[in-house]
Amino acid sequence: MQVIEPPLEVRDKILRVGGVSTLELAQKFGTPLFVTDENRIRENYKRIVGAFTTAYRKFSLQYALKANNNLSILRILRSMDSGADCSCIEEITLAKKAGYPSNRIIYTGNFNSDIELKLALKEGVMINLDDVAQLPRLRQFGKPEILSFRINPGVGKGRYAGLVFGGRRTKFGIEEKKAVKGYLSAKRSGIRHFGIHVMSGSAILEKKYFPKVAERLLNIAGRIAKKVGIEFEFINIGGGFGIPYKPSEKALDIEFIGKEVGELFTKLPSELSLGTPTLMIEPGRYIVGDTTILLAKVHGKKKGTVTTYVGTDAGMNTLLRPALYGAYHQVYVANRMFHRPNPEKITICGQICENTDVIAEGRRLPLIKEGDILAILNAGAYGFAMSSQYNNRPRAAEVLVNGGTVDLIRERETVSDLTLHQKIPERLKN
């Protein structure tokens, strides 16, 4: 047995995950299939919590449900004392279903409706507003126990343009000057407990970026606290912690980030009269990204004019990231590991009627044959979560593996799921 990258191993040239053969999984559950390794979720969670709590103990991790909303995964994380970051009421409902208490849930929506604001208040979660104009609308329904605003720190970073959430070209967050007004009117309206939040980009592999943003946010918080006369109970530096997708990329030095950010939180709040805030982070990708592979079956090969296409049963409907951002996902031929790559470059695609239906482009892999099983790596974050029924293809199944055990944690959809909520008017029935 040879470990290639946790949680993946190879035995007899066959890829295994969580102690189970990928070929057996594909045969038993069909493809496309998301396979998640429980142990890796636990390791990722422990690593990042350990990194941040070494230098600063008042800490809370809010797992970003949008990365992967599977209830079993939510329960694993909750059992490790994770909080939740929710972007809509439906995510709050899922988090509660998985056992997260209201006081460990933060709700960061954008362009919230009145109904959403009312429900968030009723749920008793921490409310993080993305616009000052939302405050009077929220206050017509009641007073939150604790309120924060999402700040646009003026800078942003992200692996692709679509993943930059801070700076000049983004719909997210509030400028500092406007935020001062927001906190002032919140205080005047009787709100007594405050937090502050930033989320300036995703899939970032530059370790120095995180302490920079944390320092910037602490200073912004300090100026706001002074002008408004408040303290902050939590300071949330967001998620965005990247994972290596390409073989040439190195894992983020999370220990460095935790230490640097922790030291800033030890030093700056007292200098800036901020009290002793909880350091909050809300990672999604870092926790679940590398825990999951997507298994796909090869249906055929076709020589195009400039490249050879390898068609599989996983396409942009199953894993949208390559079509959405041009994102890179490493691919293995699961039943032919360690074979020499074929000189011919190939494009791996799905069965969808779009020319953007690409999973990987210009790759050199071992010779691929019809019926082979491909493993698409790092599919745990924004994988199933972004999948769709486009072209009327039911969504994939998900299994959880753990040291040789296998559990189906989401059944494969069927054709009846495609018509589940459709209604045919009586006059069209005959």
Ligand X SMILES: Cc1ncc(COP(=O)(O)O)c(C=O)c1O
**Under the rule (CB under 6 A), what is the footprint of ligand X?**
64, 66-67, 85, 108, 199, 202-203, 238-241, 282-286, 381
Catalytic residues: 353
Taking the complex as a whole, the smallest distance from the CB of residue 86 to ligand X amounts, in Å, to 9
Q: Point out the residue whose Cβ comes nearest to ligand X.
A: 239
User: Minimum distance between the CB of residue 202 and ligand X, rounded to whole angstroms?
Assistant: 3
Q: What angle do CA 197, 201, 205 make, to 5 degrees?
A: 120
Name the residue with tokens 């995964």. 73
In angstroms, what is the minimal distance from the CB of 28 to ligand X?
30
What is the distance, to the nearest Å, from the Cα of residue 311 to the centroid of all Cα atoms in its chain? 27
Distance of alpha carbon 403 from alpha carbon 423, whole angstroms: 45
Q: Residue 417 carries which DSSP code?
A: H
Angstrom distance (rounded) from CA 320 to CA 383: 7
Work out the number of other CB atoms within 10 angstroms of the CB of residue 49.
19
Cα 168 to Cα 106, 110, 177, 235, 324, distances in angstroms: 25, 17, 15, 22, 22
CB of 313 to ligand X, least distance (A): 27
Q: How far is the CB of 65 from ligand X (least distance, A)?
A: 9
The DSSP 8-state label assigned to residue 204 in this structure reads B
Q: Find the radius of gyration of the CA atoms of the chain.
A: 23
- Residue 362 CB, nearest distance to ligand X (Å)? 26
**Which is it for the CA torsion 376, 381, 382, 384, positive or negative?**
positive
Q: What is the DSSP letter of 302?
A: E
48/241 Cα distance (integer angstroms): 10
DSSP, res 318: T
Nearer to ligand X among residue 166 and residue 350 (C-beta)? 166
Q: Which residues pair with 147 in a beta bridge?
A: 127, 194
Min dist CB 383 to ligand X, Å, is 12
From the number of C-beta atoms within 10 Å of its C-beta (0-12, 13-18, 19+), residue 20 rates as: buried
What does the alpha-carbon distance between residue 148 and residue 83 come to, in Å, rounded to a whole number? Answer: 16
Strand partners, 374: 296, 333
Q: What's the token pair of residue 8? A: 């993946």
How does strand 346-349 pair with strand 358-363?
A: antiparallel
**100 versus 332: smaller Cβ distance to ligand X:** 100
Neighbours of 55 (CB within 10 A): 18
